[in-house]
Chains A and B, each alone.
Chain A
C-alpha cells in the first residue's frame, strides 16, 4: 500500500530508510522550521518594541486563537488530500453553533443530545457535499459553494442575531485550561492525532492519498474512489461541526455570522496549503497543517503585540501564504495546479 503514496514523491531518496525518514523531508516539515524562524524574528521584534514575547498569556492566546481554525483546517486537509476542497465550512460552523446552542437551551442535561444533533447535521451536510461531487459530477468548488449558499440562506432567513443559550458547564470548553494548555487546544490536538492516525495507519488513509494522487489510477487499482471522497467530506464537515461547538461554547450562544467573520473557509484552505499539502491532492499531511495554523496564529500574536494595524496584517498574511507556497513549489519537481 505504501507504493501508492510514494508514487508522487519528488525523489525516492528516503525509500531505503523507511517511511519516517522520507516523511521528514516532505514540505510539510518545512513549515515547522519556518515557525521556529518566525518565533525568533517575532521575539527579536517584540523585544525591540520593549515587550515580552511568549509570555504565559500570549502562549495561551496563540493556542486559543488557533484551536477553532486548527480543527477546521484538519478536516479541510482530509478533503484536499483526496483532491477535493470544501468552501462550505464557514457557513456550516455558524449553523453548527446555532444548532448546538438552540438544542442546549441553557440546560446541562441537553449537552449530549445537542452535541449529537450538531455532529449529525454536519455529517449530513458533508454527505450532501460528497454525493453532489461524486454522483452528480459537480466540481467540488461549485458543489461546496452551492451548499454554502444554501446554508447561508437558511441561517440568514431564520436568525438575525445570536440565538440559543449554552450552559455554563459547556462554556468551560471555550475558556478553561489545565496549566498552560487550554481545553480547546487539547480538543484540537485530539482531532489532529485521530486524523494523523487515520491518514498514516489505516487503509482509508492510504486510499485518500491514492485518490488525491491520481483518481483514475486509484479506481483502476480497485479503490471505490467515490466512497473515499464522500467519507473525507463527511469527516471535514464533522470537524467544522466540532469547531462550531467550540465557538458556541466560547460565545455562550449560537451566532449566524461566527463562521464567516472568522473567514474559516478560505483561511482553512490557506493554512492547509501553508502546511505543505498540495492543493491538487495526494501529497501532504496533518502535521504540516498544524504547523500552518500555528504559523498564522504566531503571526497574529506578533502583530497584536506590536500593535500593528489589522489591515497591514492582511497584507503580510497574503504575502506570507504566497511566498511559502512558492518556496514549496521550488523544492518539489512537479507543478501542482
Chain B
C-alpha cells in the first residue's frame, strides 16, 4: 500500500480540483458516474499491471477490446437469448488471446512488444475481415445493462470494478503475485529458486486478455458498438500503470497503485473537460503531465539501488 501513496495524493488533488469546478461531483450520483466512466480503463490497467510487473508489454488490449465489441454485436445481433453464451465466449476469447501472447513470448522467445504488436494487427485485421470492414449487428439490452444499468443507484460497472479490484489484490497477495514480481525483477534468480517463470508470465498475459474482455463488455454497454471502441486503450492502460509508479521492465510496483493511476488519468480527462480545454489541446496537456509525473517519480527514488529495495518489498 505504501507504494500507492504518491499516486493517491495526486489523485486526491485532482478529485478536489474537479469538486471545486463542479460541486455535483461531490454528490453520490456524480461520483458514481465518474467511477462508471473510469471502470473499463481501471480494469484494463489492472490486467496490464500483471504483464508489466512480469517484465513484458501488452500492446494488443486496445484492438482486443475493439474485436470483442464487434464480435459481440455480430453474434448477438439484437437477440436477447444469445447474451449469456456470448458473454462466456468473450471471456474465453480474451483468455485465449492472452494464452497465445504468453506462449509465443515465453516459448518462442519473441519480445512481447513484437508479439502483441503482431496480435494487434492480426486481431484488427481478422475481425473486420469477418464483418466486412465495418461493425455489424447490435448488442442486446441485457448485454448493455452491464455498462449502463445498475441495481438501484449502484451501477453494475462499479460493482464489477470492485469485484475485479478485490480479486486482483487477493491474487497479488497470494503465491502467484509473489512469483510474478520475482519473475519480473530477476528472471534467472526466480527460475533458480523454483518459480515456473514461463507459466507465471503466460498467466499474466491471460489475465490481461481477460481484463480486456471485461472492459470490452463494459465499454460495449456504455458507449455502444463502434470500430474505434478500443482505439488507443493499450497506450492509456500502459500510461496509467506507469503513472501508478510501476516500473516498465518489471519487478516493482503494486496493483492498487496501478489502478489508482488509471483513476488519475480518468480524473485528468474529466478535469481538462471541465476547464474547457479544447479537445485537441487536451492531448498536449496529457502528454506534458505524463512525462512530468513519471519524471517526478524517477527523481524521488535514487536509481542505483532501488532494484534491491524492490526485492525487499517482494520478499516481505
- A residues sitting closer than 8 Å to B (CB atoms) are 132, 136-139, 141-143, 145-150, 152-157, 266, 269-270, 273, 279-280, 309, 311-319, 321-322, 325-326, 329-330, 335-337
B113 cross-chain contacts in A, Cβ below 8 A: 269, 279
Shortest CB–CB separation between residue B136 and chain A, in angstroms?
Answer: 14
Residue contact B126 to A147, C-beta cutoff 8 Å: no
> Are the C-beta atoms of B282 and A312 separated by less than 8 Å?
no
Binary A-proximity of B293-316 (CB < 8 A = 1, otherwise 0): 011001100010000000000000
B239 near A317: Cβ-Cβ < 8 Å: no
B67 → A minimal CB distance (Å): 12
Tell me whether A142 and B291 are in contact in the complex, defined as CB-CB below 8 angstroms, given that A156-B283, A326-B104, A329-B109 are known contacts: yes
Contact A146 to B287, CB < 8 A, known contacts A153-B281, A315-B125, A318-B120: yes
Our pick among A132, A309, A315, A325 for the contact of B295 (Cβ within 8 Å) is A132
Given contacts A137-B303, A150-B288, A153-B281, 11 further A-B contacts (CB under 8 A): A138-B291, A143-B294, A149-B283, A157-B280, A314-B124, A319-B118, A319-B122, A321-B117, A322-B104, A326-B110, A330-B109
Contact, CB under 8 Å: A137 / B235? no
Closest B residue to A313 using CB positions: B125
A-B pairs, 9 with minimum CB distance: A314-B125, A153-B284, A318-B121, A149-B287, A156-B280, A153-B283, A136-B295, A322-B118, A150-B287
Are the C-beta atoms of B125 and A311 separated by less than 8 Å? yes
Instruction: List residues 75-126 of chain B with CB under 8 A from any CB of chain A.
Output: 104, 108-111, 113-115, 117-122, 124-126
Asked whether, in the complex, the Cβ of B248 is within 8 Å of the Cβ of A142, the reply is yes
- Contact of B242 with A153 in the complex, beta carbons under 8 Å: no
Instruction: Give A325 Cβ to nearest chain B Cβ, in Å.
Output: 5
Q: Is the CB of B239 within 8 A of A137?
A: no
Among B122, B133, B247, contact of A315 (Cβ-Cβ < 8 Å): B122
A-side contacts of B239, CB under 8 Å:
142, 145
- Chain A residue numbers with a CB within 8 Å of B291 are 132, 136, 138, 142-143, 146-147
| Pairwise interchain contact B298-A136, C-beta atoms closer than 8 A | yes
Residues of B within 8 A of A269 (CB): 113, 117
| Neighbouring B residues of A154 by C-beta, 8 Å | 280-281, 284
CB distance from A315 to the nearest CB of B (A): 4
Looking at chain A's contact residues, the main secondary structure is helix
Count of chain B residues with a beta carbon within 8 Å of a chain A beta carbon = 49
Min CB distance, A322 to chain B, in Å? 4
B282, A139: Cβ atoms under 8 Å? no
**Nearest Cβ distance between residue B135 and chain A, in whole angstroms?**
13
Assembly CA distance A273 to B114 (angstroms): 8
Chain A residue with the shortest CB-CB distance to B59: A266
Does chain A have a CB within 8 A of B193? Answer: no
Given A138-B294, A141-B248, A150-B284, also A337-B111 (CB < 8 A): yes
Cβ-based interface call for B238 (8 A): yes
Instruction: Tell whether, in the assembled complex, residue A326 and residue B284 are in contact, meaning their CB atoms are under 8 Å apart.
Output: no
B155 contacts the other chain (Cβ, under 8 Å)? no
Considering the complex, give the chain A residue whose CB is closest to the CB of B107.
A326
Q: Which residues of B contact A148 (CB under 8 A)?
A: 287
Please, which residues of chain B bring their CB within 8 A of the CB of A153? 280-287
Q: Kindly state the separation between the CA atoms of A325 and B119 in the bound complex, as whole angstroms.
A: 13
**B177 at interface (Cβ–Cβ under 8 A)?**
no
Chain A contacts for B156, CB-based, 8 A? none
Q: Which residues of B contact A326 (CB under 8 A)?
A: 104, 108-110
Does B118 contact A321, Cβ atoms closer than 8 Å? yes
A176 CB → nearest B CB, Å? 33
13 A-B contact pairs sorted by A residue (CB < 8 Å): A139-B248, A141-B57, A142-B290, A153-B282, A153-B284, A153-B287, A154-B284, A157-B280, A321-B118, A326-B110, A329-B108, A335-B109, A337-B55
